[in-house]
Every structure is written in structure tokens, then in C-alpha cells.
A and B are shown apart, each in its own frame.
Chain A
Amino acid sequence: MTPTAPRPATEGGPDMIQLLTPEGQRMHRREDQQYADIAAELSDEDLRGMYRDLVLIRRIDAEANALQRQGELGIWVSLLGQEAAQVGCGRALRPQDYAFPTYREHGVAWCRGVDPLNLLGLFRGVNHGGWDPNEKNFHLYTIVIGAQALHATGYAMGVNLDGAVATGDPERDTAVIAFFGDGATSQGDVNESFVFAAVHNAPVVFFCQNNQWAISEPNDRQTRIPLYQRARGFGFPGLRVDGNDVLASYAVSKAMLDRARDGQGPSFIEAFTYRMAAHTTSDDPSKYRVSAEVETWKLRDPILRFKAYLAHEGKADAAYFATIDAEADEMATYVRSGCLSMPDPPGTLMFDHVYAEQHAQLAAQRAEFVAYQAGFEGAH
């Protein structure tokens, strides 16, 4: 049997779950009805909140990008284009759930309530993350591709051991979610996490944002079948959702998270989306992709689509949109000033927190370092 070739980067195919057209019209595909029902439970206020999330996170991202250009951040990893995938999913999480992000999950971090300034530290180079993951149940950004999929799975195995699934108590039943990209699906770690999750019926959702590119490599360097179809071979459901449709992303995420909380085990969501920006601020996509593809995806902008929907359905008006724009301006100011006033850490930071208790060898080295540095004081 010849395997299906992956569809072109602009074509989600008939299996893709969608609730909104790119123009913001509600779709009524019969096969997506169960997801439409979930989305229908969202109040108008919830919907407006999601719009706010989308706009604010895009603004935070743009500001961080600008800060990088001005030398205030060493690098920035833009989520431009992927806001809906992340916000939809992020809003489907409950407080007790736990998220394991890559380095691009700013939208999920936002939904978890992580202060955007926390995200900047790593990129500014003042720390390696540094926030307390347990405060918002949002793990540190993981740069080593795919590693966090195993961590999420192990965490979910712990949830099982704790009996924190299928109790019927919505405050207790817990799901874990692992984020990763299309490129990451090639890593052994990710595939092993699928095996462990399946074998242990772990309450973990694998949320793959297929943004069509792994730096310069298109999907066909990683797979010859659509990614969501891989899940089946591991023994759990795989779904493809329109990642630029916040309602669909929310509904599908909620369904799969509920499933995990309910003790039915792992699942895989492929959010079909697009990386509108360069891979990072260090990247030059003109070397490897054509602008026509980017233009096609521009027409599917997740925010414009949702805004059109809200306006059309009378769920939000111009005044509301203006309020959010104003809030975004404030947020940009907050991010900018917070970044600029972020102090450089002392050099001694590198010696701290290496061990539970600093051992004598390292303590001596730290003392040497301090003495050596002190030798320069007064010299300039």
C-alpha cells in the first residue's frame, strides 16, 4: 500500500475539524457537531474573553519582537499565526491541569496566567526560565525538541497513581498536556512518550501545532502521512483541527482533555496552522519558503476571522474592539517597561541552585569567583 502523501501546506483536508470559515462564518459540518455543541456552551463573555486573549498575546509577541530588534532580547520566538491554536487549547485547561510547553507557547502561558514578563527572562538572557512551574501548573519552556512530551507523560502517570482521574469531581480530575511542533514528531522522545502514554493509559493530550515548518524543513521531511493519523498506530485517537479557528481548537481540546480526565487515556491533536513569522528572530525564511504560501495563510488570520464572527453575530461591537485595542497598547507598555527594567543577575547566580545544598567544592569555587571579581573593583 502506498502511504498517503502529506497534503500541501495550505490544505487541511476533509478530516480537519472546523467551526468557522476563514471569513468568520459558522460552519455546520455534520461530522463536527459534537465540537459545535461544546463551543455552543461558551457564553458571550467567554467568547469576548478569547478575543481579548488573541489580541493581547499577539501584541505581547509583537512587542517582544520589537524589543529583540532593539537589542533588549537576545532572541525572540514569535507565535504569530498560532494564537488561536494556543488560546483555544489554553482556555480548555482547568486550573489543576498541567501544561508542558515548547518555547513558542506564549499564548498558552497567557491563558495559564503566567506573567508575560516571566517569558522574557529566558530570551533576554537573565535566566533560563526561572518561574515556579507549580504556581500556574505551567512548566518551564523546553528548548530541547520533544523532551517535554516524556515529562508530560510521566507527570500524567503520576496523576494516575494519585487516582486523580475519573473520580467525577471536576475540581480533582486532572489532564496533562504536552505541546510540540511538527518537527518534534520525528524525535524518539516524542514517539516514546506515545508508547508510554498508551501503555499506561496516561491522562495526557499531545497537542501538536503543525505550523508547516521546522525551521527550514517542510512537513515532508518528517512524515509521509498526515501527522494526526500516526496516533492510531500507537493506539489512541488522533484528530486534526483547524488551528486558526479558536472555537474549533477550544472544542477539540476540551473534548480530549475531558476524555483524559475521565480516565480514557491519551489522545493526539494536530492543530493545522502556520508559522507566519520567521522561525526565530535569527532566522531568514526567504532562503527556503515562497511568499505565496505566506500570502495564502494571511487570508486565514485567526484574529480577523474571530473578530468577523463576533461582529457578525452581534457578540461584540466596535466599542468593545476599541477597548481591547487600548488594553493591548497598555500591555505593550507593560511588557516594554518591564523588560527594560529587568536587571542583569549577579554573576554568582550561576552557582546557586545547582544542588539542593551547595557542596564544599562548589562553595569554594564560588568564593574564588567572588574574590576574583572583587579584584576588579575600583579598577574601573
Chain B
Amino acid sequence: MATTTIAKALNAGLRRAMEADAKVILCGEDIGKLGGVFRITEGLQKDFGEERVMDSPLAESGIVGTAIGMALRGYRPVVEIQFDGFVYPAFDHIVSQVAKMRSRALGHVQLPMVIRIPVGGGIGAVEHHSESNEAYFAHTAGLRVVAISNPADAYWLIQEAIAADDPVVFYEPKRRYWDKGELDETHRGVPPMSQASVVRTGSDVTVACYGPMVKTCLQAAQAAAEEGTSLEVIDLRSLSPLDLDTVAASVERTGRLVTVHEASGFLGIGAEVAAQVQQRCFYSLEAPVIRVTGYDVPYPPSRIEEDFLPDLDRVLDAVDRSLTY
């Protein structure tokens, strides 16, 4: 067991995946010598060579489009999208090709690729560098969508995503890259990628969140505990498919659910969780499901991003509202 950061754990996970399988190749903008703008691929080109760690031309459509071809040729491409807001040039390939190839070919071919996306705001960046676009991809059948929140998941899930035979959109919470946590590289102590995990047990209100919001919600739970309210915090981890069994089991005990994400609320992951939970847990619910989300506006300039982003207070406010029923 060692203390490490999400960034370092991802780097170590990528390294291990590359060591385990010579078909694993990395491609993206500035991922070579620079090690990526977030240094997630630091040192990998030096150790695995320019053929396995490719600095790509500046073209996201090209990055994902060629990854499709490489996957068809038997490789396992792991592509890096430099920032969330720059995945859109590749949107066509992801939605029309990556997601559908297996079903179009009736299972004769598969595209085992990972599309890594540093996601979310809170870093004081200029526009297009702080977006949360997971709902677009979760809405697209054929893609698996994963959002990590801690170093242990970073390390194990990146390897699991690479080994998976389905394409995975892999969200990394950029403002948490340098947050520390425990990681045991010798023993996989985390659940499978497709499962949610209860990261704090509690009895009064269930809080379902993912990615960068997990830390926020754990802090909220701590604050709530000091006021005598017990929150159960669930890290969804997999956004498509959703592990609703874990959420429903919790809600059946607490009777209340708050969902939290940075992305705008309208048609977001929280909306899907809410819809499914009210169907499954109708008789257990003591309050309507409450969503805490970014507002339904373009991501704002950084000087007011704190007003946009859900924070501890907004989570606690939602918890209070839930408890008034």
C-alpha cells in the first residue's frame, strides 16, 4: 500500500497495461516527450518507443478514426483527448462508428479501445477546458462510460478498460489529478468497472455521484455527520451501464436520494438515475429524488465557475430539502 495521486496511478496503470500486452498503443496530442498536458503519459514514450506512444497530428477526428482502424487490425488503442471540450471533432467517429461497429458486424469485429478524457471544471481554465460531456456518450448505446474518482480506481480501471473488448470512454477528473489516495499495486481491492461502490455508509440520505464530485460529496457527508445527519455516498464509477442495484439497495434503506454531478442537469446522468430509482424504489422513497448539477447554461467564465459547480453547500442544501419531506 502506498500513497499516490490519480495522475501517477493512471501513469502506472497505463505502463502496466503496456507491459502486459504488446498490442496496447497510445495515441494523442503531446503525449510523447511532453507526457501530455497533464503528464499522465510521462515517461511512457521514452520507455515504450515512438511507435507505441504516438504524438498524433492535431486532429481528434483523425485520432479516433485511426484508432478504429488500428483496433480492426488487432491493436488496443488508448487515445488521449487533451481536454473534454476537444472531443467533439471526434464525435462522429465515436457515435457513428466506435459505438456501432460490433452490432453492425453482428459481433464479427470489435473495437477494444479506450478514449481517455480529462473532464470537468474548477481549474480556472478558459472556455472548452472544463466541460462535462459524459451524458452524450452515456446516451449512445455501444459505448461503456466510466468515471474514476480516486487513485486505486485509476490504476485498476484503466487496465480493466484497456483489457475490455468494448470501447470505453474513460473520464478522468482533471481537478483531482493531484489528489492523493491509497493504492496497492499488488492486490486488486476494487470492484469491477461496471459496479458502483459505496464509499461511505450512512442511513439518512443516499448521495449518488461520480468523478470529481465524489470528493465533494464525501466532504458534505463529513459536514452532515457533524450536524447529526448520516449520508451514504455512492460512487457510481460506471455511467453506462449504470449499477442501479447498488443505488436501489441503498435507497431502499435510506428512503432518500440526492444525485450530484457537474454536468448540466437537463437530461443528465442524475435524471436517468432519478427516473430509474423512482420506478424501482417507489414505495421506499420518502422524498422526491433531488438533483444537484451544473446549471443548464454553457460552462461559465472561470471567475464565476464556483457559482456553477455543485459544492458542499449545494449538496447539503439538497440533503436538507430531501429531509423536509
Measured CB to CB, the residues of A under 8 A from B are: 74-75, 103, 121-128, 143-146, 183-184, 186-189, 214-217, 221-222, 282-283, 287-288, 344-347, 349-351, 354, 361-362, 365, 369, 372-373, 376
Contacts and interface: CB of A to CB of B under 8 A. Distances in A.
A186 B57 contact: yes
Contact of B34 (A143, A187, A215, A373): A215
| 6 A-B pairs closest in CB distance | A125-B302, A347-B307, A186-B57, A216-B34, A350-B300, A183-B58
A88 B280 CA distance: 67
A75 B307 contact: no
Contact of B298 (A146, A282, A354): A354
A75 B125 contact: yes
A126 B30 contact: no
B128 A144 contact: yes
Given A189-B89, A345-B301, A143 B127 contact: yes
Contacts of A351: 295, 297
Contacts of A361: 296
A146 B58 CA distance: 10
B202 interface: no
B4 interface: no
Nearest to A184: B58
B301 A217 contact: no
15 contacts: A125-B124, A125-B126, A126-B301, A127-B301, A184-B58, A189-B89, A216-B32, A216-B33, A217-B30, A217-B55, A222-B57, A345-B301, A347-B308, A362-B296, A376-B313
Contacts of B32: 216-217
A282 B34 CA distance: 12
B297 A217 contact: no
Interface string B37-62: 10000000000000000011111011
Given A188-B89, A221-B58, A350-B304, 5 more contacts: A125-B301, A288-B33, A350-B297, A350-B298, A372-B314
Contacts of B89: 144, 187-189
Contact of A350 (B56, B86, B295, B313): B295
B299 to A, nearest CB: 8
A186 B34 CA distance: 19
A283 B33 CA distance: 13
A362 B297 contact: yes
A221 B57 contact: yes
B307 A369 contact: yes
B134 interface: no
A367 to B, nearest CB: 12
B58 A128 contact: no
Nearest to B36: A216
Contacts of B61: 187-188
A365 B303 contact: no
A123 B124 CA distance: 10
A354 B301 contact: no
A113 to B, nearest CB: 23
A75 B301 CA distance: 13
Contacts of B304: 344-347, 349-350
B317 A74 contact: no
Nearest to B307: A347
A258 B1 CA distance: 68
- Which of B127, B305, B313, B317 has the most chain A CB atoms closer than 10 A to its own CB? B127
B61 to A, nearest CB: 5
A221 B302 CA distance: 32
A351 B308 CA distance: 10
B120 interface: no
Which of B34, B85, B305 counts the most chain A CB atoms within 10 A?
Answer: B34
Nearest to B42: A287
Contacts of B295: 350-351, 365, 369
B297 A144 contact: no
B29 interface: yes
Interface string B286-325: 0000000001111011111101100001100100000000
Given A128-B301, A362-B296, A287 B125 contact: no
A287 to B, nearest CB: 5
Contacts of A372: 314, 317
B33 A349 contact: no
Contacts of A122: 126-127, 301
A144 B85 contact: yes
A11 B29 CA distance: 25
Interface centre among B62, B296, B305, B308 (most CB of A within 10 A): B296
Contacts of B298: 128, 350, 354
B35 interface: yes
A339 B297 CA distance: 26
Contact of A188 (B33, B59, B85): B59
A351 B302 CA distance: 14
A185 to B, nearest CB: 8
B296 A365 contact: yes
Contacts of B297: 350-351, 354, 362
Contact of A74 (B29, B58, B125, B307): B125
Given A344-B304, A347-B307, A221 B296 contact: no
Q: Which of B57, B59, B302 has the most CB of A within 10 A?
A: B59
A215 B302 CA distance: 23
Q: Which of A127, A143, A188, A350 has the most CB of B within 10 A?
A: A350
Interface string B1-39: 000000000000000000000000000011011110100
B82 to A, nearest CB: 9
A216 B30 contact: yes
Interface in B258-300: 295-298, 300
A248 B59 CA distance: 31
Contact of A215 (B29, B85, B125, B300): B29
B258 to A, nearest CB: 15
Contacts of B88: 144
B248 to A, nearest CB: 28
B226 to A, nearest CB: 17
B166 to A, nearest CB: 26
